[in-house]
Amino acid sequence: MRTRPGVTLIEVSIAALITAMTSAAVFSIVLSGLVSHEKADKRELAAMAIKRASQSLSNYVSAVPSESAYTPVAGGKWAASATAGWSLRGNTGGGVTHDISSLLNGTELQVPGQTCAAGNAYCFFTYTVVDYDCGLGTANTAWACKRVTFNLRYAD
């Protein structure tokens, strides 16, 4: 039997298989990195939304904000809130939940095809205000101290 220089079909098949497996692994890592980066961007946007809402609520205690969407109006109601009454209205029980989901509509945090609102399983932004006696000597806890807790759900 005479030997010829070259490669056999089996050698070519094994080389193609190794190349395909390596390519699939590299593409998997790249795709995973892109998805992870997108999720991190949305987490950052959510944190910024909470920070902005917190700063807007503090304006009802100390100053008037410059943006119309966050301007306190007569009665202290936040224009972004769907909840009636003062934006820092709470109670000593389970608190009062205020819906500010409208701030998410039109952002990357909104689930496509869904209007963000309290009660929506996919997209909402609320905060709960609980009144508590912090020892300031006032008998009316509604005017004493407030604890605010934010709750935000957005598209992943």
122-132 pLDDT tens trace:
899 999 998 88
Max mean pLDDT among 48-52, 65-69, 88-92 falls in 48-52
The pTM of this model reads 0.68
Amino acid, single-letter form, for residue 125: F
**Eight-class DSSP state of 111:** P
As a whole number of angstroms, the distance between CA 50 and CA 35 comes to 23
Mean predicted confidence (pLDDT) in 102-115 = 88
Q: Tell me the percentage of the chain whose pLDDT exceeds 90.
A: 24
Residue-wise pLDDT tens digits, 2-37? 677 777 888 889 999 999 999 999 988 888 887 787
Alpha carbons 99 and 127: distance in angstroms, whole number: 7
The residues spanned by each domain of the chain are 9-153
pLDDT band at 141 (very low <50, low <70, confident <90, very high): low
- The type of residue at 134 is C
pLDDT band at 47 (very low <50, low <70, confident <90, very high): very high
